[in-house]
Amino acid sequence: MRASRVTRPLALVLLASAVVAASGCSWFRKGPRGDYALSPEQRPLEVPPDLNLPSTAGAMQIPPPATAQPAAGATAPSGVGFNIANGTRDEVFARVGSALEELEGVQIASKAQLLGTYDVAYEGANFLVRISAAGSGAYVSAVDPRGTPATGAAPNKLMAELKQALGGG
């Protein structure tokens, strides 16, 4: 008899616990977590990543080339080039090649007619002789491998000799 006295209240307590757990008491169930569980109308506005970043439109602007060619009749900067008024770029390229071969001390390492350049070595300096179209003629200049005007005595001396040999003005 004693066993039924203890088991009956214990059974009632267990039954009451089960009813409370099954009835949806918030202590025993896990509710929705995060915004994803809300209805679409209640969710916060989602902004695409590219709309909340700062504008980088002008961040990588390339500066204009430092070796802009002067117009026909203009003088070359710091004496590293000259204009040839008569002839196309290809004609002047051929004439410059002939003149370079005739000048003493000039070694032509390579030439690229498509680019209009001769890679030369002269008096211990290596640089490019570039021929580009300028107006109705061509512009002959000395540039270093980066494309900036070549500096030094050797490029200036070679440009003076080429100008004299080609009759540039």
Scored b (16 or more CB within 10 A) or e, 28-67 reads eeeeeeeeeeeeeeeeeeeeeeeeeeeeeeeeeeeeeeeb
How much is the pLDDT for 35?
72
- Which of 78 and 156 is assigned the larger pLDDT? 156
Q: Which two tokens stand for residue 167?
A: 């009759």
Across the range 87-109, mean pLDDT stands at: 90
Q: Is the pLDDT of residue 130 over 70?
A: yes
Give backbone dihedrals phi and psi of 82, rounded to 5 degrees, phi first. Answer: -155, 165
- Spatial distance between the Cα atoms of 56 and 49, rounded to a whole number of angstroms: 14
Would you say domain 77-166 falls under CATH 3.30.310.170?
A: yes
pTM over 0.75: no
Running DSSP on this structure, what letter comes out for residue 84? E
Report residue 2's pLDDT band, with 50, 70 and 90 as the boundaries.
low
Residue 112 identity: A
Please provide the average confidence, as pLDDT, over all residues in the chain. Answer: 78
- Spatial distance between the Cα atoms of 75 and 72, rounded to a whole number of angstroms: 9
pLDDT tens-place string over residues 101-115? 998 899 999 999 888
Q: What is the DSSP string of 90-147?
A: HHHHHHHHHHHHHSTTEEEEEEETTTTEEEEEETTEEEEEEEEEETTEEEEEEE-TTS
Closest CA to 158 of 113, 130, 112, 122: 122
- Which of 150 and 37 is assigned the larger pLDDT? 150
Q: Which two tokens stand for residue 144?
A: 């270093």
pLDDT tens-place string over residues 63-78? 665 544 544 444 444 4
Domain spans of the chain?
77-166
- Spatial distance between the Cα atoms of 161 and 158, rounded to a whole number of angstroms: 5
Q: Is 167 exposed, middle or buried (0-12, 13-18, 19+ CB in 10 A)?
A: exposed
